[in-house]
Chains A and B, each alone.
Chain A
Amino acid sequence: MGKYLFLGDEAIAQAAIDAGLSGVYAYPGTPSTEITEYIQTSPTAKTRGIHSRWSTNEKTALEAALGMAYAGKRALCCMKHVGLNVAADCFMNAAMSGTHGGLIILTADDPSMHSSQNEQDNRVMGNFAMIPMLEPSSQQEAYDMVYDGFELSERLGYPLLLRITTRMAHSRAGVETRPPKEQNPLSFPADGRQRFILLPGLARLRFKALLKAQEAFTHASETSPYNQYFDAPDKTLGIIATGIAFNYLAENYPEGFEHPVVKISQYPLPRRLIERLADTCAEILTLEEGYPVVEEQLKGFLGKGITVHGRLDGTLSRDGELTPDAVGKALGKEISAFYAVPEVVEQRPPALCAGCGHRDVYEALNEVIQTYEGAKVFSDIGCYALGALPPFRAIDSCIDMGASITMAKGAADAGAFPSVCVIGDSTFTHSGMTGLLDCVNEQSNVTILISDNETTAMTGGQDSAGTGRLEDICRGIGVEPEHLRVMTPLKKNYEEMKRIIREEIEYRGVSVLIPRRECIQTLKRKHPAKQ
């Protein structure tokens, strides 16, 4: 116990340890990665034997977490927002089965797309699954929500979705910790088969149970310490602020609110608090970090024709992260910068590190590809996606993890040639292996480069699930040994690399090339003296 300066992610990790966690299951993804990393390096977690090894993807992570919770223990599953798309099948159905031990599913959303392909707001997913959600407004609240959250999950019998955003994940503040609790003993749900076998007859009963449970979830929201009503004199406007939007609101009223405010950090919506606001105020302004989720719900929910302002009527921008300035403007405040950004300032996009093996892969690949008219290079998620930028401009797509192999297959099916793809080693084991099996089964005419830096580099160098076994995996899936070729991406090998790439493009079938050289960042960390 004590007071610590924690990132939001660290507060969540410490809270989970203190709450009697038995296992965290996760696949790395900004801005959620530091939660699992904190538990992996925590001495307490080690002595308590808390599981913390990385999973192969978010789906395997969530299923394992559900299994641990089925066995009565407390489990945490962490992912970035798009990870929940991968885990969605388990997610939707875990809402049907419910849980036995406490289960918290954490989604770290990334509005403004600091490090992501989209800015999806996973409160939509929480509503879709109809499970209770928590959205902290401060690092302390994040700590308390997790510390108490496992008990709430056990009491309600359902998993909770904890939604944070980049600012909460990666912002530090003082956090007061609480006394550590014991882990749960091994135990199984008494009505396990009724709940966990989702055959249609039983599933129908489970859905009715989930619908009935909404009442208890709403009651929990209405009595939650995280949802609050603040009265204030000027009733021309009532304000609903969710998650960290509440902070930006408070920043604009340093001397106290002028309008009544409902702060929401637990869902489903606390009906009574909102009805009270709607009954006393002429209009409502919703402030949400992300999609207009509450704003849309209010329209159906209030049914009184009350005017609601927010992201849908243009009071706030429909996209992008909130800021104190954006919220101030929505409140009609004068916001002004004194200085402007001078014209001389240029953009500075991220780039592949000097000495990175992906650079050599693209150098060699580009030279070969230029000799083919209409060649397409489908790529994927990872550092190597930076091959999109100059000087390489080497790739044509980057959609979702694993999509490079399967898009190359589809394009080849359509007649595109050459149909090449570049995928990272961690992305390959995350979601590329199944697509490779599709290619092998149909002998698709694709050339697949697994650019293997033996780590998950983009997110900071976590272990990669298939390191040392990629050839075995490819052979096992059925890639022909003579079209499975390993090379070392270095300048001195360019001629050989180019020759191999060309030969395998010319081979009408599935080829897998593995350029392999360790990430220079992880290498530097292992040998700091060489820096």
Chain B
Amino acid sequence: MKTDIILAGVGGQGILSIAAVIGEAALCEGLCMKQSEVHGMSQRGGDVQSNLRLSDRPIASDLIPLGGANLILSLEPMESLRYLPYLRPDGWVVTHSEPFVNIPNYPDMDRVNDELGKLPHKVTLDVERIAREAGSARAANIVLLGAATPFIGISYAQIEEGIRRIFHRKGENVVGLNLKALRAGMEAALPFPAKA
């Protein structure tokens, strides 16, 4: 088993909590993991990414090589495109569909969608809307994680366990809301063609 994931977004959106859940799930499975994070300057509204590597064998590099990622998981559509050189030809892009506009020259969304449309393996969802409908607007990142569960290489049940462990200190209610958000994301992604 070996999965290389790039998490992408804008500083402050919360990509690191997705990484934390996957990391916890990987730890439960006894997998090796390396995850490089972005702290510092770019957290002030700049583009941020995290490299997350899972394997049943020891991992050498903290960074994913070009053309090596199985999955790009992004909380912002333009940001999902920024890391395409790292995606394998058969890799998946799972991204939030709605733009985060904090620059004056944000491109026309039709052009962004055209580029996303060219990719053979992708899931685009309005995870914020799905999160609101699932009862927790703040769990958009967990909805996104739910949509990506088929591509991570860890069982759905184990990722649920990751959520329980990460959120248990915040109480049963928060755990429940996040489990619900995870399921909503997973179900919303079902209509997209399954991995070949």
Closest to A249 in B: B60
CB pair B81–A341 under 8 Å, yes or no, is yes
Residues B59-103 near A (CB distance < 8 A): 59-67, 78-79, 81-82, 84-89, 102-103
For A352, the closest partner residue in chain B by CB is B44
Stretch at the interface among A13-21, A145-153, A302-310, A342-350: A342-350
- Is A336 a contact partner of B106 (Cβ separation < 8 A)? no
Whether A348 and B65, one on each chain, are in contact in the complex, defined by CB atoms closer than 8 angstroms, is: no
Contacts of A345 on B, CB cut-off 8 Å?
78, 81-82, 107
Can you show 6 pairs from A to B with CB atoms below 8 A apart? A114-B38, A114-B41, A167-B62, A173-B35, A325-B66, A339-B84
Q: Counting CB contacts under 8 A, is A5 at the interface?
A: yes
Q: A247-B60, A350-B43 are in contact. List 13 more A-B contacts (CB 8 A).
A: A7-B37, A172-B35, A172-B37, A173-B59, A324-B61, A337-B66, A339-B85, A341-B84, A344-B114, A346-B78, A350-B45, A353-B45, A459-B40
- The answer to whether B60 touches A349 (Cβ under 8 A) is no
Q: Provide the residues of chain A in CB contact with B107, threshold 8 Å.
A: 344-346
- Say yes or no: B40 contacts A31, CB within 8 Å: yes
Contacts of B32 in A (CB 8 A): 173-174
Quick one: which of A324-343 are within 8 Å of B by CB?
Answer: 324-325, 328, 335-342
Q: Are A348 and B60 interface neighbours, CB within 8 A? A: no
Name B81's contact: one of A5, A174, A344, A386 (CB within 8 Å): A344
> Is the CB–CB distance between B105 and A346 below 8 Å?
yes
Is B111 close to A, CB under 8 A? yes
A474 lies within 8 A of chain B by Cβ: no
- Cβ-defined contact, B89 with A346, below 8 A: no
Chain A residues in contact with chain B, CB under 8 A? 5, 7, 30-31, 33-34, 114-115, 167-168, 170-174, 244, 247-251, 254, 323-325, 328, 335-342, 344-353, 383, 386, 390, 458-460
> Contacts A114-B42, A250-B60, A335-B66 hold; do A171 and B37 have CB atoms under 8 A apart?
yes
Known: A30-B39, A335-B65. A350 touches B46 (CB 8 A): yes
The proximity string for B residues 142-169 relative to A, scoring 1 for CB distances below 8 Å and 0 otherwise, is: 0000000000000000000000000000
Is the CB of B10 closer than 8 A to any CB of chain A? yes
Report the separation of the CA atoms of residues A251 and B62 in the bound assembly, to the nearest whole angstrom: 9
Note all chain B residues with C-beta closer than 8 A to A250. Answer: 60-61
B188 at the interface (CB under 8 A from A): no
Contact partner of A350 (CB less than 8 A), chosen from B44, B82, B85, B88, is B44
In this complex, how many residues of chain B approach chain A with their Cβ under 8 Å: the count is 50
Q: Is B186 close to A, CB under 8 A?
A: no
Chain B contact residues: over half helix, strand or loop, or mixed? mixed
B27 in the interface, Cβ–Cβ < 8 Å?
yes
> Nearest residue in B to A29 (C-beta to C-beta)?
B40
* Interface of B toward A, CB cutoff 8 Å: 10-11, 23-24, 27, 32-47, 59-67, 78-79, 81-82, 84-89, 102-107, 111-112, 114-115
Residues of A within 8 A of B43 (CB): 350
**By the criterion CB–CB under 8 Å, are A346 and B111 in contact?**
no
Assess A386 versus B84: contact at CB under 8 Å? Given A31-B39, A323-B63. Answer: no
Check A340 against B34 for contact (C-beta < 8 Å).
no
Contact A351 B102 (CB under 8 A): yes
Q: Do B34 and A344 have beta carbons less than 8 Å apart?
A: no
CB of B7, distance to nearest CB on chain A (Å): 13
Chain A residues whose CB sits within 8 angstroms of the CB of B86 once the complex forms:
337
- Determine how close the nearest CB of chain A comes to the CB of B50; give it in whole angstroms: 9
Minimal beta-carbon separation of B78 from chain A (angstroms): 6
Grouping DSSP codes into helix (H, G, I), strand (E, B) and loop, the A interface class, with mixed when no group exceeds half, is loop
Bound-state CA distance A204–B35 (Å) is 48
How many Å lie between the Cα of A172 and that of B52 in the bound state?
9
Q: Which residues of B contact A342 (CB under 8 A)?
A: 81, 84, 115
Residues on B with beta carbons closer than 8 Å to the beta carbon of A352: 44
Give the residue name and chain of the A residue nearest to B103 (CB). Answer: A348
Asked if residues B41 and A346 are in contact (CB atoms below 8 Å), the reply is no
Cα A174 to Cα B36 in complex, Å, equals 13
Residue in A115, A337, A460 whose Cβ sees the most chain B Cβ within 10 Å: A337
The answer to whether A348 and B81 have CB atoms under 8 Å apart is no
CA–CA, A339 to B89, complex, Å? 7
Q: Which residue of A lies closest to B12 (CB)?
A: A353
Q: Is the CB of A338 within 8 A of B41?
A: no
Chain B residue with Cβ nearest A325? B66
Taken together as a complex, chains A and B put the C-alpha atoms of A174 and B32 apart, in Å, by: 7
**Which residue in chain B gives the minimum CB-CB distance to A333?**
B65
Contacts of A460 in B (CB 8 A): 39
> In the assembly, what is the distance between CA of A342 and CA of B117, in Å?
12
Closest to A328 in B: B65
In whole angstroms, what is the CA distance A115 to B44 when docked? 11
Q: What's the minimum C-beta distance from A385 to chain B, rounded to whole angstroms?
A: 9
User: Among the listed A115, A172, A336, A386, which residue makes an inter-chain contact with B67, where contact means beta carbons less than 8 Å apart?
Assistant: A336
Given A5-B23, A345-B81, CB of A114 within 8 Å of CB of B40? yes
A55 to chain B, nearest CB (A): 20
Task: Given A167-B62, A348-B47, decide whether A34 and B103 contact each other with a Cβ distance below 8 A.
Answer: no
**Smallest Cβ-Cβ distance to A139: which chain B residue:** B34
One of A248, A336, A344 near B115 (C-beta < 8 A):
A344
B44 and A351 within 8 A (CB): yes
Q: How far is the CA of A415 from the CA of B91 in the complex (A)?
A: 61
Q: How far is the CA of A7 from the CA of B16 in the complex (A)?
A: 13
B47: which A residues are within 8 A, CB to CB?
A: 347-348
Report the separation of the CA atoms of residues A115 and B47 in the bound assembly, to the nearest whole angstrom: 13
**Residues from chain B with Cβ under 8 Å of A174 in the complex:** 27, 32-33
Alpha-carbon separation in the docked complex, A474 to B83 (Å):
49
